[in-house]
Amino acid sequence: MNRTAINPWPFSIELGFDQAQLIEGHRRELICSAQDAVDAQGNSLHPGDLAAQLEHALNNLETVLGDADMTLANVVRLNFYATDVNALLEHFPLVTKRFNGQRFATTVLGVESLAGPDLLVAIEATAMD
């Protein structure tokens, strides 16, 4: 798979994401449901702690990717849904650190609520290899 970053404006590179990614020669595409801070039984974790929920959602995403023999390096798009966008953006360096410089296309959306009353953030991903 070949990935080419498309960035007509350079500001996004400094923030850790691309405006778009041109994907050529891929063989598999994994479209993930939004992952959030829940345990294996679907119980919400870390109420009121957006940073901890973000980390747990990323852990859950890595688990899903692993079951498809993929890693975060295969992620080409992430969509974030947050009940407090400003708080999410404050903690966004947690995401870029986990991706170790690997960029992706992204959208951040503010929502009134998520699937569970204690959930603050959900991450939806598309991965390819």
Give 27-128's CATH code, choosing from 3.40.1670.10, 3.30.360.10, 3.60.40.10, 3.30.1330.40: 3.30.1330.40
Q: What local confidence, expressed as pLDDT, does residue 101 receive?
A: 87
Dihedral sign, CA of 65, 70, 72, 78?
negative
Q: What is the pTM of this model?
A: 0.90
Lowest mean pLDDT among 8-22, 83-97, 113-127: 8-22
85 pLDDT exceeds 90? yes
Other Cβ atoms closer than 10 A to 78: 22
**How far, in whole angstroms, is CA 61 from its chain's centroid?**
8
Q: What local confidence, expressed as pLDDT, does residue 26 receive?
A: 83
Q: For the chain, give the percent of residues with pLDDT over 70.
A: 100
